């Protein structure tokens, strides 16, 4: 009887130890993964600042810091929007974009309500790699609209952002403002970033002028 | 001009590295994001160096690309990676890379690593030739040059007359 109870006791202890070991290894994996993400994102920030520093002609310090801040924050906001049950693989994209808009309005001192945003995101969650790339793209587009297209614009300022799934797989992202499109045609680092990140998504970016600037990016799903 | 292929799916990063290496007198090819794209580019462009990100888009990793280069001996290669655990490091070691850089990278590390690896790879074959070809030399001109070198070496603090050097060659 005694030995029987002892066996039960030991077995239950073993299984507890087992589950502790399992959860600690799960914790270790999560830690590693988190560390990896952070390092990657820090590296990305360094690269963005380097690219900015290489831009010619050199910007004013205030502009440099302003743009740097908005790019850095775009990456930072990703960490607030990881889909809770899925670790670091997916992002709640619709919330991410509204956080980003909220931040940019604040960052560029836009008067409340002076820009009307229409956001239609048909995808609940998006792979984080895609979300960061699209986030940085959106950041450049909104910054462009606010800092160039809407200056001296007579219309009621409006920005439309859409992301939808194609029936045959893949996504279509579109962005449209109703500002002065011609001014935006100056090709700077912002446009280079849009171009590079579109390539990174294996996508195609079409720009057109339609009562303002319109971008449409067509890109495939992740393999 | 030398040619470097950078296999990296993060294009902002690739662009930054391209900028860092732009003074190195090499053409840097970016926009190569997967194993398959890399294989095509390497075979077509015959680079002097391949820089490989360990984590790539798609099913095949950078380490598999390293293994391909180890086998095919098409070009020397170095890895670029964020975090390294024991297992990844062992896998990396199996492919015998010529170098390794961790992210976040420092500009100076990247520049020197690239320069040293390309240089070593070029001299690797030159040195092997030197070791094996000594006994086979039948022409006596290397010995004449050796005479001259010895003379210069022995008289390094003296004034050396070019006519004297010429006379040693007879």
Please tell me whether the interface predicted TM-score (ipTM) of this complex is above 0.95.
Answer: no
Indicate yes or no: CB of B12 within 8 angstroms of CB of A193: yes
What is the average pLDDT score of chain B? 88
Distance from CA of A110 to the nearest CA of B (A): 28
pLDDT at A113 (0 to 100): 84
Residue B61 touches partner A, C-beta closer than 8 Å = no
* pLDDT bracket for residue B130 (50, 70, 90): low
- Burial of B60 from C-beta contacts in 10 A (0-12 / 13-18 / 19+): middle
Rounded Cα distance, B96 and A94, in Å: 45
* pLDDT bracket for residue A82 (50, 70, 90): confident
Indicate yes or no: CB of A39 within 8 angstroms of CB of B10: no
Indicate yes or no: CB of A196 within 8 angstroms of CB of B13: no
Which residues in chain A touch residue B20, judged by CB atoms under 8 angstroms apart?
A: 50
Residue A219 parent element (H or E): strand A213-219
CB A153 within 8 A of CB A178: yes
pLDDT at B134 (0 to 100): 54
Residue B92 structure tokens: 């990396």
């Amino acid at each position: 009887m005694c030995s029987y109870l002892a066996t039960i006791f030991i077995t239950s202890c073993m299984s507890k130890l087992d589950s502790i070991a399992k959860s600690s290894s799960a914790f270790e994996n999560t830690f590693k993964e988190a560390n990896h993400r952070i390092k990657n994102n820090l590296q990305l920030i360094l690269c963005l600042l380097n690219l900015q520093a290489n831009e010619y002609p050199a910007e004013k310090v205030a502009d440099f810091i302003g743009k740097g801040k908005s790019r850095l924050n775009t990456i930072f906001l990703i960490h607030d929007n990881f889909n809770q049950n899925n670790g670091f693989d997916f992002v709640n994209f619709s919330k991410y974009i509204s956080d980003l808009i909220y931040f940019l309005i604040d960052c560029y001192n836009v008067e409340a309500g002076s820009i009307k945003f229409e956001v239609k995101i048909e995808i609940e969650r998006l792979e984080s790699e895609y979300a960061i790339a699209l986030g940085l793209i959106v950041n450049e587009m909104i910054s462009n609209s606010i800092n160039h297209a809407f200056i001296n614009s007579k219309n009621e300022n409006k920005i439309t952002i859409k992301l939808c799934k194609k029936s045959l797989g893949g996504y279509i992202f579109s962005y449209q403002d109703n500002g002065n499109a011609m001014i935006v045609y100056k090709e700077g680092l912002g446009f280079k970033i849009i171009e590079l990140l579109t390539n990174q998504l294996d996508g195609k970016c079409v720009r057109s002028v339609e009562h303002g600037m319109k971008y449409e990016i067509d890109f495939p799903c992740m393999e | 001009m030398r040619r470097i292929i950078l296999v990296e799916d993060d294009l902002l990063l690739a662009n930054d590295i391209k900028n860092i290496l732009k003074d190195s007198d090499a053409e840097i090819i970016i926009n190569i994001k997967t194993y398959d794209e890399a294989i095509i580019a390497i075979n077509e462009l015959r680079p002097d160096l391949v820089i490989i990100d360990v984590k790539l888009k798609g099913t095949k990793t950078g380490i598999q690309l390293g293994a391909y280069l180890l086998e095919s001996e098409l070009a020397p290669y170095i890895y670029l990676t964020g975090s390294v655990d024991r297992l990844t490091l062992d896998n990396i070691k199996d492919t015998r890379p010529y170098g390794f850089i961790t992210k976040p990278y420092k500009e100076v590390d990247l520049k020197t690593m690239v320069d040293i690896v390309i240089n070593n790879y070029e001299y690797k074959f030159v040195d092997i030739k030197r070791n094996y070809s000594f006994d086979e030399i039948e022409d006596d001109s290397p010995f004449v040059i050796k005479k001259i070198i010895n003379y210069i070496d022995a008289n390094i603090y003296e004034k050396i007359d070019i006519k004297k050097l010429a006379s040693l060659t007879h």
